[in-house]
Structure 1
Amino acid sequence: MADHDERGPMELTIGGRLAPADVPRLCARLCELVGQAGPGSGAVTLDVGGLAEPDMVAVEALARLQLTVRRLGRRVQLRGITRELRVLLVSSGLDGVVRECPGLRLEVGGEAEEGEEPRGVEE
C-alpha cells in the first residue's frame, strides 16, 4: 500500500491480498491522506490494480473506504479495476456505489450456465 505526495492528486494504492484486519488500517490511512490535502471536495483515487485475487474482503474494504471518504466530504473513484473485482462488485450490488475513474469502461458478461438466464452488466 502506498500513496502519492500530498501536493499531487489524492491517491491510495492498494495491492496484494487483503485480510480483514487491513480494512481499518486502510481507512485510517485514507483519513490521513485526505487530512493532509486539506479542505476541498475533490475525488480520492483508489488504485486497485495490484490486488491479488480480489475477494469479498476486498469488496468490504472498498465499501468501507467509500463510506470513510463520503464522511470527509469527498468521493472515491477506482483505477486499475480488474475483471474479477468488477464481477464481485456487480454481484454484491456495489458497482453503483464505488465508481471507476471517468473514461474507464468495463463490461461484465459471460456465458450462462445450462438452465440459467443469461446475465450481463454493461456501463
Structure 2
Amino acid sequence: MRAAHPVGLPGVDALTSAPLVLPARAGPDDLVRLCALVRTRLDAGGGSVVCDARALGGIGLDAVELLARLELAARRAGGRIRIRDAAPDLRALLSLAGLRFETEREAEGGEEPGGGQERGEPGDPPP
C-alpha cells in the first residue's frame, strides 16, 4: 500500500480563498456583514484572512475602526487578518493608533512577490 501524495503544487494551500475586498466606505450593516465573512472564512479553515484595503477611501478613523473590528472578529474565531495594498498613510495611522497588523503588498508587473524586480523599468539608472 502506497502513501497518498498530496494533490496540487507543493507549498501552495489549495484552500486559500480570494482576498476579502474592503469597500471604500462601510456603514454599520456592511461592518456586520464583513465581520461575518471573516468568521466564515476562518471557520472554513486557515489561520488568516487577507483583506484588500486598496479601495478604502478617506484614510481616517473610519478605516481604522473597520480594520480593528475585522481583526477582533478574526481573533474571536481563532485567526487574524492580513492587510493587502494598504496606503502608506493608512499604515502610519494604524501604527499611531497602536494597532499592529500583518501587511502585504500585491506584486506589480515585473516584480516578484518578495518585492524584488525581475528587470529594471525604462529610465531606471543601471545597477
TM-score range, shorter-chain basis?
Answer: 0.5 to 0.7
* Structure 2 match to 1:51: 56
- Residue 67 of structure 1 aligns to a residue in which SS? helix
Counterpart contact for 1:19–1:57, Cα < 8 Å: no
TM-score by length of 1: 0.63
Confirm or deny: 8 A CA contact 1:23 1:61 kept in the other structure. Answer: yes
- Per the TM alignment, residue 55 of structure 1 is displaced from its structure 2 partner at its CA by 1.5
Find 1:29's aligned residue among 15, 29, 37: 37
Q: Check if 1:60 corresponds to 2:65.
A: yes
Q: CA deviation at 1:81?
A: 0.5
Query: 3-state DSSP class of the match of 1:50?
Result: coil
SS of the residue corresponding to residue 26 of structure 2 reads coil
Larger strand proportion, structure 1 or 2?
Answer: 1
**2:23 alignment partner, SS class:** strand
Paired letter, 2:67: L
Name the count of aligned residue pairs.
94
Q: CA deviation at 1:18?
A: 2.8
- Correspondence 1:101 to 2:104: yes
> How far off is 1:20 after superposition?
4.5
The AA in structure 2 aligned to 1:32 is: T
The percentage of aligned residue pairs carrying the same residue is: 35
Rate the CA distance shift 1:57–1:44 in 2: closer, same or farther, 3 A.
same
Aligned to 2:81: 76
